[in-house]
Amino acid sequence: MHARRKFALGLLAVAALAMAGCGSKTDPRLQGSLRQERNGWIFVHLEGPPGQIGFQHGYWLAPEIAEAQKVIALLFEHDTKKPWSFFREAAEKVFWPKIEDEYRQELAGIAEGVKARGFNLDVWDITALNGFLEFVPYYMRWWEQQQGKKTSARLPTRESCSAFVATGSYTRDGRPVIGHNAWTGYMEGERWNIIFDIVPARGYRILMDGFPGLIHSADDFGLNAAGIMITETTISQFRGYDPQGIPEFVRARKAMQYSASIDDFDRIMREGNNGGYANNWLVADRKTGEIASLELGLKNVTLRRTRDGYFVGANFPVNEKLAREETDFRLDDPSLSPNARRKRWEQLMAESKGRIDVEAGKRFLSDHFDAFAGKEDPNERTLCGHIELSPRGIESWQPPFAPAGAVQAKVTDAALAERMSLVAAMGHSCGRHFLAADHLKRYPQFEWQKPYLRDLKSHPWTQFSALRASE
C-alpha cells in the first residue's frame, strides 16, 4: 500500500476511535481527547486551552499519575531522607512564583482531572512531580548549602541518556535525523511510557514522549508543527542552581510549544535559566536542515550549529570551561560511561556517514559495543545502557548492578516530522527484558524498590502520529 494512503487510513481509524471515546455522557472538558495503549506505550491526545488540556491529561492518566507520585516520593525519601511534604512546600514557594499563568492553569487542570477520577492529589503534588528532575540534586544541593550543611553524597547528578542529531552529508537524504534513548532507574523508567499529542490553543502542536503528570517531556524527545525537533542528554556531575530562575520544566515545555526556529529555542531556554536539570540540548529545524547543540550550563552556555554534520550526547560536558567551572566530571578518564559512549558515537557517525536514517538510528540506540573494553558487552558504557549488568555501576549515580539503564528509545527524521510522526520502542530497544523479581532475588540490596519495581519488557518499534494532519 502506498505510504501516504496507509498514513491517511491510519489517521481516519484513530480519528474514529477518538470520536467513539468522547461521547455526550463525558465531561465536556474531555471533548476531542482520548487515551489508547499500544506496544507498551500510552498515547493520549489533548487539545484546547491550558486548563482543559490539563484536565484531559489528569483524567486520562489519573491512575498512572497517582502511582508515579508514590514512586517519586519513595525515591526522594531514599535519596534525600526528606518526606514528600518537603517537596510540596518547595514547589509552592520556589517553583510556583516563577511559573507563568498558562502553565499554572495546565498544572491546576491536571490536578482537577486526577481528582475527577477519585485520586487525592492537588496542584502542589502535581507541581512537585513536574520538578522532580531538578529537585535532586540541583535544588537539594542549594538547599543544603543554605542550611550550612555539607553536600550529601546521596544527591548524585544523573548520567542519563544517549542521543544524536545529524544532517547534510551525514544522512541518507541530506535532511535531519534525530534519536534518543532515556536512561533512568527502571522503577520510574518503566512508567516513562506516554506519547503526548497536544494541540494547544496557542503555540504549535506537539508530539513528544513523557511521564505521567508532567507538562514537559522530561527525558525530552519531541517535535512540533513548526518543524523543530528536540532532544537532550544530561550534563554529568553538574553543580549550580539559581532558585530565582524559571523552572526547567516550564522552559522546556515553552520551547517545545513556541519555537519556530533554533534561535527561538535558544532564546526560550536561556531566558530565566535556573541551572536545574542542566542539559546539552540537540535540536533540528526540518525546514532549513540546520541542527544545533545548546550546552546549557548556569554560567557557561555554548550554542553550536551546522547544516552539514552531527552532534552527539552521552552526558559528557562539551565545553572544557563548563566542565572545569561547573562540574566535577573527569574528561580524561576513558573508562567512564559518558566518555566511552562519546567514543562509540564518534565511531558510529564516521562509519555511517551518508547512510544515517531512521533505521540506522534504531541500530545506534540498540548498540552494545563497549568502546573502552573494545568488545560487545551490554553494560553502563554501551549506548543501550544496562547498568543492571554492570559490576561497576555508574559512579555517584547508580551502584553496581542497580536496576537502571535505557528504558525506551525514539527516532524521527524530517520526512516523518512533516507528518508529525516518530517511531518509538518501549523497554530496551535491543530486545532484552528486565525481570524485577529475578533481579531482586540476585541483588537484595535493592529490595527497597520492591513495592514499585516492575518488569521492563522490550516492545517492538512502533510509529506514532498526530491524529490529524497539522496546519
pLDDT of residue 343: 98
pLDDT of residue 120: 96
Which bin fits 100, alpha (ψ -120 to 50), beta or left (φ > 0)?
Answer: beta
CATH architecture of 162-465: 4-Layer Sandwich (3.60)
CB-based contact 452:77 (threshold 8 Å): no
pLDDT of residue 439: 98
pLDDT of residue 447: 98
DSSP bridge partners of 34: 45
Long-range contacts of 151-157 (CB under 8 A, 24+ apart): 152/80, 153/396, 154/79, 154/80, 154/81, 155/79, 155/80, 156/237, 156/396, 156/397, 157/234, 157/235, 157/236, 157/237, 157/238, 157/239, 157/396, 157/397
CATH architecture of 29-146: Orthogonal Bundle (1.10)
pLDDT of residue 152: 64
pLDDT of residue 155: 75
HSE-CB for 137 with a 13 A CA cutoff: 23
pLDDT of residue 48: 98
pLDDT of residue 159: 80
Question: pLDDT tens track of the chain, all 471 residues?
Answer: 444 334 333 443 343 343 333 333 479 999 999 999 999 999 999 999 999 999 999 999 999 999 999 999 999 999 999 999 999 999 999 999 999 999 999 999 999 999 999 999 999 999 999 999 999 999 999 999 999 887 665 677 778 899 999 999 999 999 999 999 999 999 999 999 999 999 999 999 999 999 999 999 999 999 999 999 999 999 999 999 999 999 999 999 999 999 999 999 999 999 999 999 999 999 999 999 999 999 999 999 999 999 999 999 999 999 999 999 999 999 999 999 999 999 999 999 999 999 999 999 999 999 999 999 999 999 999 999 999 999 999 988 999 999 999 999 999 999 999 999 999 999 999 999 999 999 999 999 999 999 999 999 999 999 999 986 333
Using alpha carbons only, what angle is made at residue 387 by residues 384 and 389, rounded to the nearest 5 degrees? 100
SS3 15: helix
pLDDT of residue 337: 97
Q: Same CATH fold, 162-465 and 29-146?
A: no
Domain ranges of the chain: 29-146, 162-465
Closest among 57, 31, 56, 49 to 105, alpha carbons compared: 49
pLDDT of residue 118: 97
